[in-house]
Chain A
Amino acid sequence: MKYSVTLRVNGKEQKLNLDARATLLNALREILHLTGTKKGCDQGQCGSCTVLLNGKRVNSCLVLAVMADGKTVTTIEGVSSNGELHPLQQSFLSHDGLQCGYCTPGQIVSALGFLNEPWDKTPEAVQIGMSGNLCRCGAYPNIASAIEEIRSSIQEAASS
């Protein structure tokens, strides 16, 4: 069974005719060819597939694409603008918050979602709030410092 669905992906309207069984992850990767979003487990256990759905982070492997009809989706491809890295991407780069890079798109998009959630303003909150994104290379300490740099600079900007 196919359904016609409209997704607003990275600011662009996408009218798609989708298999009812297609997950948002598979639709992004196999139909829209936005392969920056990764599949690590396909069952909501690793965070590699994290995207923002109406601004909130979700595991896109757990969302049926038809359920995202009419919603906005931000993937890693939509994080940088006009070829300029987002400060968080730059921070991952300079802190070496990645090795193989496979979990990285999920980590960055998840961190973007995290920074908009009402967590305590502490490094410990980063540790907990980011624990849904697994990294087998063990880039955690560097990922944590990359996010912490952005988190504390937002906090400073807000208090000044």
Chain B
Amino acid sequence: MNHWIGAPIDRADGILKVTGEASYAADFNFENLIYGIPILSTCAKGKVVKIDDSDALKIPGVLTILTSQNTPEFFPAKSDFGTASQMGEIRLPLQDETIHYAGQYLGVVLAETLESAEEAEKLVKVLVEEEPPILEMEKNLSQAYSPKAFFGEPLPVIRGNFEKAFSEAEIKLEEIYTTPVEHHNPMEPHASIAVWDGENLTLYESTQWVVGARNVVADALKLPREKVKIISWFVGGGFGCKGFIWPHTLLSSLAAMQMKRPVKVLLSRRHLFTTVGHRPATCQKLTLGASRSGKISALKHHTITHTSFVGEFLEGSGGASQNLYDFPNLQVIYQVVRLNKGTPTFMRAPGESTGLFALESLLDELSYKLKIDPIELRLKNYAERHPETGLPWSSSNLKECLQIGAEKFGWKNRNPDPGSMKQGNLSLGWGMAVSMFPGFRSPGSARVKILPDNTARVESATQDMGTGTYTTMKQIAAEILSLPPEKINSFLGDSSYPAAPISGGSMTSASVGPAVEAAAKKALQHLIDTAIKDKASLFYRCSPDDLQAKNGNLIFKTDPSKAETFGEILLRNNLPFLEGEAFIKPDQPDKKYAFQSHGAQFAEVLVDPYLKTIRLNRMVGIFDVGKILNLKTARSQAIGGMIMGIGMALYEKTVYDLTTGRVVNDNLSDYLIPVMADIPSIDVEFIDKPDPYFNSLGVRGLGEIGITGTAAAIANAVYHATGIRIRDLPITLEKLL
């Protein structure tokens, strides 16, 4: 058995994607379509006095302009992650005159053509009463609040006695690390096409959460949930900004219901910088006490970050210090400042990516101070059990990751002295860092249908944003049904399929995978039951235990020559299909193990000693994420995470104008993301050992771990090359001058 799970087969949706046939939200076209283009505020704080749309309405083809003056009431939808109904920001759009940030929705132009809508949008004049916006968190610390809890866990985190351990420590270190606002910038801008037939609302969306979108839209419009359907077959990347439900989805829905015509609301690239979340900036002060031998006895991780005036969000950077190493005395503290910027949201490895930049940089600093090899320092502080809960790891292979990575990278040849290694006239720098992401999972469900033509279909209301869900779902079903994957079709991205969680927290495989497995087993069981009750079957009255599926046949375990195809059994019994459906919930009550993925990343940089240009030369990443479902797509995903980490390390930063509060670089020429020429050779390897307790497949997730640790590994390599420690991302050359 066990040969489809893990196999590096080609991406199931690959042919549709390389031929341009895959339909993303904006690709849906309908007769009689209306185009909707948002009008956004250019002011960051104040009140709308008047919106003058008279010129805009003169543009031929413009139908109407929705503003707070003529938009009916939305009903407050529940904003509760646990009940699968979470809005990106609490405030409902176009309901009042208050402006909380530049880039907030003030209206939507509805027109017959895209060109008319876009031209009209430019002609809308908004008169506002402006107030000075609050834009800098450091200057407004007096207004900060301390969150009381993070996902149900009380804050602040106090373990042992930090003050005492710190005062007694032989070595003390305190540094501040800062990370800027970053934007997800998936290549596909969000789009929402709403079709209303007088009773049912269908939305073609770009979302990481079809069930959540359905729930929010239904509740906000007071429609029964079963009358709302979300289709999101293909998502052009999300990375978190398509997780929660943002205002454009409500606006397209409302417009379609009002106009009684299909409405296509398209966000443009600049809209993605204010209306769909961002990773907030952090200012992290880390205070560390250690022994001369490198055992860390005390650590305080104090994070200052921000949210908006219309949404709650916490970038949980301190989680890195809480969950990775054996720090007996720990304090994790947060202060959050409300700013007149859009509402932040999850961005790939929220908390861990920013927190590990700080923590893994600090450990590197300590390694130089103590003259201990950075890998050895990490091993000295290795947590044998989960440091917060004290539970044993279900499986932890961090040591193997470090060892394999070091070997692949050639770490033993490193001269630890900064600036000592050269390549030609360039300074060579080698740095490493640990990667980490907790193992999350949620209840998930799936349905598997065996069809008379010897094929099967798998359905789940989950999503594939390039993460490989289409592919892995069919591999799991293939394994159980013993059908080749090409005989199985995966269906997802439709809220009417069995419910599944948000594609976030790296939990899709761990939540939906076991449900697919169980559903396939049930479907197979039904097939076996049908056969043994069927007088015309070879297996009539046999014991189910004697039968098994093999290559699309049911066979006798002891005599494989006695076989019937799945199709024969169905056709003889006049069955259009046989199905199994499963709902799998993680067993929470008896928390016996701690689940976490680990990894190690190694980076080589070349820095020009005079020009200070930084060139990333190669990277190695080793990850322990449990069982790998598809080696090919998994490798791609891990590399993709590391590349986003390279962006975080060297390029990405959203810049706000400190007078107006507007984003200065709200486009892809000025907000830099890595391009092909920036990317060196990246060598990725997985430990690929099933997690024995996390779920039936042994799989944890790997969407996020790839980005964690990357920025620190590169920062540490830059220090090794130059002797200059950059504690403020991104690491740009002027900081080295």
Nearest CB of B to A47, in Å = 9
In the assembled complex, the Cα of A141 lies from the Cα of B674 at a distance in Å of 12
Q: Does A6 contact B (CB under 8 A)?
A: no
B14 touches A141 (CB 8 A): no
The residue that B639 contacts in the complex, of A42, A48, A92, A138, with Cβ under 8 A, is A138
Which chain A positions have C-beta within 8 A of B632? 96
Contact with B along A88-104 (1 / 0, CB 8 A): 01101110101111111
Q: Does A7 contact B (CB under 8 A)?
A: no
How many residues on chain B are close to A (CB under 8 Å)?
62
B234 touches A101 (CB 8 A): yes
B187 touches A100 (CB 8 A): yes
Name the CB-closest residue of A to B671.
Answer: A45
B642 touches A138 (CB 8 A): yes
B466 touches A101 (CB 8 A): yes
Q: Does B542 contact A (CB under 8 A)?
A: no
Q: Does B10 contact A (CB under 8 A)?
A: yes
Contact with B along A104-138 (1 / 0, CB 8 A): 11001000000000000000001110111111111
Which chain B positions have C-beta within 8 A of A127? 676-677, 679
B636 touches A40 (CB 8 A): no
Q: Considering residues B18, B115, B468, which has the most beta carbons from chain A within 10 angstroms of its beta carbon? A: B18
In the assembled complex, the Cα of A30 lies from the Cα of B193 at a distance in Å of 13
B187 touches A46 (CB 8 A): yes
A36 touches B640 (CB 8 A): no
Name the CB-closest residue of B to A104.
Answer: B17
Q: Does A14 contact B (CB under 8 A)?
A: no
Q: Does B723 contact A (CB under 8 A)?
A: no
B21-29, B291-299, B545-553, B562-570 - interface stretch? B21-29
The residue that B636 contacts in the complex, of A85, A128, A139, with Cβ under 8 A, is A139
The residue that A85 contacts in the complex, of B18, B637, B641, B675, with Cβ under 8 A, is B18
B115 touches A26 (CB 8 A): yes
A138 and B641 in contact, given A36-B20, A43-B269 (Cβ under 8 angstroms) = yes
B673 touches A134 (CB 8 A): yes
Q: Does A75 contact B (CB under 8 A)?
A: yes
Name the CB-closest residue of A to B235.
Answer: A100
A80 touches B237 (CB 8 A): no
A144 touches B676 (CB 8 A): yes
The residue that B18 contacts in the complex, of A38, A92, A126, with Cβ under 8 A, is A92
8 Å CB interface, A32-52 against B: 33-43, 45-46, 48
B188 touches A38 (CB 8 A): yes
B189 touches A98 (CB 8 A): no
Which chain B positions have C-beta within 8 A of A98? 11, 14, 17-18, 466
A105 touches B20 (CB 8 A): yes
Which chain A positions have C-beta within 8 A of B673? 134, 136
B11 touches A96 (CB 8 A): yes
Name the CB-closest residue of A to B675.
Answer: A131
In the assembled complex, the Cα of A103 lies from the Cα of B673 at a distance in Å of 14
Q: Considering residues A46, A100, A135, A137, which has the most beta carbons from chain B within 10 angstroms of its beta carbon? A: A100
Q: Does B268 contact A (CB under 8 A)?
A: yes
Which chain A positions have C-beta within 8 A of B644? 136, 138
Nearest CB of A to B3, in Å = 19
The residue that A102 contacts in the complex, of B16, B237, B681, with Cβ under 8 A, is B237
A134 and B15 in contact, given A21-B119, A35-B20 (Cβ under 8 angstroms) = no
Name the CB-closest residue of A to B632.
Answer: A96
Name the CB-closest residue of A to B681.
Answer: A141
Which chain B positions have C-beta within 8 A of A45? 269, 667-669
Q: Considering residues A42, A94, A132, which has the most beta carbons from chain B within 10 angstroms of its beta carbon? A: A42
Q: Does B311 contact A (CB under 8 A)?
A: no
Q: Does A9 contact B (CB under 8 A)?
A: no
A41 touches B467 (CB 8 A): no
Name the CB-closest residue of B to A80.
Answer: B19
Which chain A positions have C-beta within 8 A of B328? none
Which chain A positions have C-beta within 8 A of B484? none
A77 and B18 in contact, given A96-B633, A100-B465 (Cβ under 8 angstroms) = no
Q: Does A13 contact B (CB under 8 A)?
A: no
Which chain B positions have C-beta within 8 A of A89? 18-19
A38 and B676 in contact, given A26-B115, A105-B20 (Cβ under 8 angstroms) = no
Nearest CB of B to A39, in Å = 7
Q: Considering residues A42, A46, A135, A144, which has the most beta carbons from chain B within 10 angstroms of its beta carbon? A: A135
A93 and B10 in contact, given A77-B19, A79-B19 (Cβ under 8 angstroms) = yes
Q: Does A22 contact B (CB under 8 A)?
A: yes
In the assembled complex, the Cα of A108 lies from the Cα of B15 at a distance in Å of 13
A35 and B18 in contact, given A26-B114, A43-B269, A98-B11 (Cβ under 8 angstroms) = no
Nearest CB of A to B583, in Å = 28
The residue that B236 contacts in the complex, of A38, A41, A42, A76, with Cβ under 8 A, is A38
Nearest CB of B to A2, in Å = 11
Which chain A positions have C-beta within 8 A of B465? 99-100
Q: Considering residues B14, B188, B635, B676, which has the most beta carbons from chain A within 10 angstroms of its beta carbon? A: B676
Which chain B positions have C-beta within 8 A of A135? 187, 676
A99 touches B20 (CB 8 A): no
Q: Does B186 contact A (CB under 8 A)?
A: yes
Contact with A along B11-50 (1 / 0, CB 8 A): 1011111111111101101000000000000000000000
B676 touches A140 (CB 8 A): yes
B29 touches A141 (CB 8 A): no
Q: Does B140 contact A (CB under 8 A)?
A: no
Which residues of A come within 8 Å of B, CB atoms? 19, 21-22, 26, 29-30, 33-43, 45-46, 48, 75-77, 79-80, 85, 89-90, 92-94, 96, 98-105, 108, 126-128, 130-144
Can you offer 20 A-B residue contacts whose CB atoms are under 8 A? A40-B189, A41-B667, A42-B268, A43-B669, A45-B667, A45-B668, A93-B10, A93-B14, A96-B10, A96-B14, A96-B636, A98-B18, A100-B465, A101-B13, A134-B675, A136-B184, A136-B185, A136-B186, A139-B636, A142-B639
